Amino acid sequence: MAELKLPVDEKSIRALKVGDFVELTGRMITGRDAAHKWLLEDFRADVAPFLKDSVIYHCGPVVAKKGDGSWSFVAAGPTTSIREEPYQADVIGRYGLRGVIGKGGMGAKTLAGLGKHGAVYLHAVGGAAQVLARAIPRVERVFMLDEFGVPEALWVIEVQRFPVMVTMDSNGGSLHDEVEARSQAKLKELLARKA
């Protein structure tokens, strides 16, 4: 398994293929439904440096505030990505993202955006909130906490060997499309069976 350092350049991202298992180390940011809409309503210059050449994690964490006022992630698995389908490709292009982490995969518009801008979709294991929280040793800062609440805020985090699978790459490959096509064909076969 390969370790990938963040921030990352376009060439390293374009070398990744569907089926690769990688571990991420460095700085990234969380963002989900409210964040994606907000990132496109205007150019958010204060958040932009945290997106450039890094990845956005579709995650609404459980967060604890420690005695010294700092934060820590108590549980932090991925949320379903497809809800960001209308926004994702534009967020990637506008802010120079190199990747998206989530679960469930995304659609044709995002897949085209990955190819155009040189980015990948990275699948974390859904529900694995403890394994993944342990790969997030530090919370650096947070944007829009009061406005969006804990799950929807944009959390800048440091990750260490954060495990993900490449399920959509920058060459048009999508594991989700493959599995869906196969299961649709199998369904047809099962529905042809007698009662």
Active site residue ranges: 36
Residue nearer to other proteins on the CB measure, 20 or 90 = 20
Q: What is the DSSP string of 46-73?
A: TTHHHHTTSEEE----EEEE-TTS-EEE
Nearer to other proteins, 8 or 18 (CB): 18
d(CA 174, CA 192): 28
Q: Count of alpha carbons within 13 Å of 54, Cβ hemisphere only? A: 21
Given candidates 31, 77, 118, 173, which one binds other proteins under the rule CB under 8 A?
A: 77
Read off the DSSP letter of residue 80.
B
106 binds other proteins (CB under 8 A): no
Q: Report in angstroms the alpha-carbon separations of 132 from 61, 139, 143, 161, 193.
A: 10, 13, 21, 9, 42
Residue among 21 and 43 whose Cβ is closer to other proteins: 21
Name which position in 29, 76, 111, 142 contacts other proteins (CB under 8 A).
76
Tokens 């495990």 sit on residue: 163
Span from 9-17, 45-53, 84-92, 150-158 in contact with other proteins (CB under 8 A): 150-158
Contact region with other proteins (CB under 8 A), list: 5-13, 59-67, 92-100, 108-116: 59-67
- Total of chain residues touching other proteins, rule CB under 8 A: 50
Q: Is 148 in the site for other proteins (CB under 8 A)?
A: yes
Closest to 104 in 3D by CA, of 134, 125, 133, 73: 125
Question: How far is 78 from 46, CA to CA, in rounded Å?
Answer: 24
Q: Determine, following the binding rule CB under 8 A, whether residue 6 of this chain makes contact with other proteins.
A: no
Q: Are strands 120-123 and 154-168 parallel, antiparallel or unpaired?
A: antiparallel
Distance of closest approach, residue 183 Cβ to other proteins, in angstroms: 4
CA distance 140 to 158: 7
Give the residues lining the site for other proteins (CB under 8 A).
Answer: 19, 21, 34, 59-64, 74-77, 79-80, 82, 103-105, 123, 125-131, 133-134, 148-152, 163, 165, 167, 175-176, 178-180, 182-184, 186-187, 190-191, 195
